[in-house]
Structure 1
Amino acid sequence: MATIFLDCFDDMLPLWERVRREGDPAITVNLSPGQPDDVPALLEGYDICINDHTYFDADLLARCTDLRRIVFLGTGAASFIDVAAAERLGIAVDIIKGYGDTTVAEHTMALAMAAARGVARMDAEVRDGAWRQIEGVQLLGRTLGIIGMGGIGKEVARIGTGIGMEVLAWNRTPQPDSPHAMAPLEDVLAKADILCVTLVLNDGTRGFLDRVKLGRTKPGVILVNTARAAIVDQEALVALLRSGHIRHAAIDVFTQEPPAKDDPLLALPNVTLTAHAGFMTPEATMRMLRTAIDLAIAGGG
């Protein structure tokens, strides 16, 4: 079966070449920093596409008449693909799990620390000629709340424990053998000083942290989201940031990427932002790309 990497970008190409092996079938690489133009024409004659950031709604999927499988680079396929429509059309969707658990967890904790100490704000002020020392939050002995104890959540817990934080976690399915303290969601929300969102986005988690749940968080909490923006009610989050109930939010994911210029998160001083880069290390990217090639080969078999 013919395979195309639909939307590779320049920085990823050298890593793609490094993971290719002698004997791999030919895979066409289309370089596209954004949504490629005329996707149906690009996919004509291809049964399988590897997809990094192209949005496939139901209409676009229906117009890609040769397509039979999409290998999505990551776990959050539902953010980029109408998975239900793909199933109706007989298009299989593969995701890649575990490739960046440590990388994303490290980014999560980096954001938590930056938010706790006002790093981004002080950096901007010093560059602008100001000299103001912002009081921070010491993390030793504080409660690290984790919502979602998959691979990333477990790594966040490991790192948090290593720096002396008390881990309190919740997962959608019970984890009786977890080495970390598990608790009802209400307790995690109420007790966490740092609250990390590490859930997978699906129909059961979309809008999960709504106004009511966010309102149950501890006053002065720091919220870190390296999962998916759609898990958190942004309107409620912004309101709680403005009121000061949420001390700071550190966000790596947005409802629109890149975010619109009028996204209210961009205007708030108590928000630290990164460009959906939690997974971006050579180690994680190479593991992801190699797995994508293997899935494409298996799907073509």
Structure 2
Amino acid sequence: MTQILETQPERTDLPLTVMPCVVADMIEPFKANFEVLRDVTRLRMYTDTTLDPDEIVRRCEGADAVIVIGVHIDDNLYTRLTHTQGHAKCFAFGGTGVASYIDLARARQDGVRVCNVRRYGDAAVAELAIALMMELARHVGELDTQVREGSWHGVFGTELAGKTLGLVGFGGIGQHVARIANGFGMRIQVWNSHVHADALAANPEIALVDGIDDLMATSDIVSLHLPLTDETRGGITFENLNHLRPGSMLINTARAEIIAPGALERRLERGDLLAGLDVFDKEPLPQDSPLRSVPGVVLTPHVAWRADGAYASLTRQVMEAIVSFYEGGDFNVVV
């Protein structure tokens, strides 16, 4: 049953912020930060996960700012919330890859502020990337099913120790993956068009590879950690993926859109790769997606960011971005 949580409802002199939907396990972390908004804005928070655009517009009536959790603000919904049925002037997005959810160029043109959150999930996303590697290497889920069904024959596994891990991208998440993988005894190499010298200086055991094709061809496991930008969208092509060696692993906990449309499915259909995927071009993943039937692929429903520490940081940053909007600051402004 949907609840409506409101802060300072009597303060009608304050502007209104609306959170039209939310992931259930984020409710308590958000409530823990309600006090941040005191004397700045009223908040109306709906505690379900509706994605119905008509209902979202109805809920956001009168909102000066909208907190965006899990819903794509497509062109039609954007127009309704900012011009025809609403007057929202700020979207505070509860994530990093806001370009996948809101048309930033249009918002910039209209003078609508868009904020995101930053570095909130470095550990959480890195840990899921490692978990996907472990699942592909040691098949824990399959083994659990075997035992529960009365089988004891097991599955032959792969050691990660001694394997070469290629990281495409070396920001906060990539660096955290590297630290964990180093503890496993893996060899680590990195390709990134914008590698920071200080990051590599702090990790002298990590090799910098000049080309992404070279990294794909020489890695036992490739893990993607690029942000989604105009520059990176579709930047990993089928030709790049074709350099992956048979038997190697591909992990994506970044964004599906950094891979050219159809390129991943085309490469995986050959059946000689393992893959762990947490992100997809269309979410939820359609029932007819070929990814569902490719052997050797582990699928998770875009949950890398969903962990206690990440939630604490994310919810705090969203609230601080809202306060900053109303007080004339620039906290976490994207456009």
TM-score category of the 2 structures, normalised to the smaller one: over 0.9
Return closer, same or farther for 1:233/1:79 CA change in 2, 3 Å cut-off. same
1:85 counterpart SS class: helix
> Which range is displaced more, 164-173 or 78-87?
78-87
Map 1:65-80; keep pairs closer than 5 Å: 65=83, 66-80=87-101
Query: Which of the numbers 97, 118, 121 marks the counterpart of 1:100?
Result: 121
Is there any run of 5+ residues in structure 2 with no aligned partner, and where?
Answer: 1-14, 328-335
What is the distance in 2 between the residues matched to 1:110 and 1:11? 21
1:200 counterpart SS class: coil
Q: CA deviation at 1:136?
A: 2.0
Q: CA deviation at 1:146?
A: 0.6
Alignment of 1:10 with 2:5, yes or no, is no
What is the distance in 2 between the residues matched to 1:30 and 1:287? 21
Q: CA deviation at 1:125?
A: 4.6
* Off by >6 Å, runs of 4+ in structure 1: none
Q: CA deviation at 1:127?
A: 4.4
> Which range is displaced more, 282-291 or 42-51?
42-51
1:8 counterpart SS class: coil
> Which range is displaced more, 24-33 or 147-156?
24-33
- What is the aligned residue count? 300
What is the distance in 2 between the residues matched to 1:173 and 1:23? 37
Match of 1:285 in 2: 311
- How far does the alpha carbon of each residue in 1:150-207 deviate from its partner, in whole angstroms, 9 at most, with x for none? 1111101111111111110111213223123221222211111111011111221122
The code of the aligned residue for 1:93 comes to V
User: % of aligned pairs identical?
Assistant: 34
> Which range is displaced more, 287-296 or 180-189?
180-189
The code of the aligned residue for 1:139 comes to L
2:280 counterpart SS class: coil
* Counterpart contact for 2:36–2:320, Cα < 8 Å: no
Alignment of 1:62 with 2:89, yes or no, is no
2:197 counterpart SS class: coil
Return closer, same or farther for 1:61/1:220 CA change in 2, 3 Å cut-off. same
* Counterpart contact for 2:225–2:254, Cα < 8 Å: yes
Structure 1 length-normalised TM: 0.93
What is the distance in 2 between the residues matched to 1:47 and 1:117? 50
* Counterpart contact for 2:278–2:303, Cα < 8 Å: yes
Q: CA deviation at 1:104?
A: 0.7
Q: CA deviation at 1:132?
A: 4.2
Map 1:190-201; keep pairs closer than 5 Å: 190-201=217-228
Q: CA deviation at 1:30?
A: 1.8
What is the distance in 2 between the residues matched to 1:256 and 1:34? 17
* Counterpart contact for 1:105–1:153, Cα < 8 Å: yes
Match of 1:174 in 2: 195
Match of 2:174 in 1: 153
Return closer, same or farther for 1:34/1:146 CA change in 2, 3 Å cut-off. farther
Alignment of 1:40 with 2:40, yes or no, is no
Match of 2:111 in 1: 90
1:29 counterpart SS class: strand
The code of the aligned residue for 1:228 comes to R
Return closer, same or farther for 1:199/1:190 CA change in 2, 3 Å cut-off. same
What is the distance in 2 between the residues matched to 1:256 and 1:140? 34
> Alignment RMSD, CA only?
1.9
Query: Which of the numbers 250, 273, 278 marks the counterpart of 2:299?
Result: 273
Is there any run of 5+ residues in structure 1 with no aligned partner, and where?
Answer: none
User: Bigger radius of gyration, 1 or 2?
Assistant: 2
- How far does the alpha carbon of each residue in 1:217-273 deviate from its partner, in whole angstroms, 9 at most, with x for none? 222210010011112246332333332332x10011122222111111111231111
The code of the aligned residue for 1:136 comes to G
Q: CA deviation at 1:36?
A: 4.1
Return closer, same or farther for 1:22/1:173 CA change in 2, 3 Å cut-off. closer
* Counterpart contact for 2:94–2:315, Cα < 8 Å: yes
